[in-house]
Structure 1
Amino acid sequence: MQHTTPTLEERFGREVADRRRSVNMSQKALADLLTTAGLPLDASAISRIEKGTRALRLSEALLVARKMGFSLDLLGDETPPEEEYIQRRKRLDDLLMAAGEAVRLVADEANGIDWFIESNPAAFDTTAPELMSTIEAELRANWVLRSIATRCRTVEARDAIRSLVETVAAISVDDAVGEDSGE
């Protein structure tokens, strides 16, 4: 038995059939639903769609997918795994670079707040400004880490961003207390 890659029509049909069955809908009920939505089909047409033997216009496929609760993006374009890995890795690298820039902007703003507090001591009740700067920088870094942890979907991405934030936060703390990280 020779294994062949399913055609786009077959993958679409399989998704329609899986979605239809998951909601206990008959082919006739799906045909009626689509007919009401402006795509006149009968149960035998639904059967052919599910087998991948009935071609659909793009507008028809979009309507069927929308009514069945999925996106045509779900079907993908059968990118080879090696190429998909490279694409995904590049996207991750780009996102990490963007996250790094965002963290640097947060650190710069935090330093601006420290400068403002130090420049306006009468407006704030601080007994040890250098200790307060260190504590505030650590609190800000922890807040950023918690924010990231709630938004990252993978442990790897979370760890990479956490490492980046900790590095930038350490630089921010060193700057706040006037230490040179090279000493």
Structure 2
Amino acid sequence: MRIVSGTHKGRRITPDKSFKARPTTDFAKENLFNVLNNIVDIEELSVLDLFGGTGGISYEFASRGAEKVICVELNHRHFAFIQKTVQELGLDQILPIKSDVFRFVKSCRQKFDMIFADPPFDLKTLNTIPDLIFEKELLNEKGTLIVEHGSKNDFSSHPNFTEKRTYGSVNFSFFEYK
């Protein structure tokens, strides 16, 4: 896994082999951020990264200059890895939080410009994530929610769905207020 662009471009991040997380592939991440670069100014964003895993998406946003990134991860080993990596890279704008994502979202009082969720593809409640984000009003008015998911999930009938991008086996569904 590597950081694709920004101040830490090319930096390799290597979690140990026992990690259970499925990091977003470099190919999918590079394509996602090419899309984002055309629709938002990343340097001005406040970002919420849900199901942080290895922290790869948080590092990418921070490397590209996002103002603030909150990275939520429940697994103790993954959380510790994210904390260590944030410190090693000096990415002070990333705040790792060890919490269950659903509990965090239900109690969160902040609003974000961008929310990225990369849950386990077999998570039974994966399809509820967009509803929960919009019910809790966690996005700023022109904010975007991106959910990474497998091919079995279809969000196209969700009222806030705007588009889906597919890169190999990785799917990104985009949502905004309409």
**Structure number having the greater strand percentage:** 2
Specify the structure having the higher radius of gyration (Cα). Answer: 1
TM-score tier by shorter-chain length is under 0.3
Q: If the length of structure 2 is used for normalisation, what is the TM-score?
A: 0.21
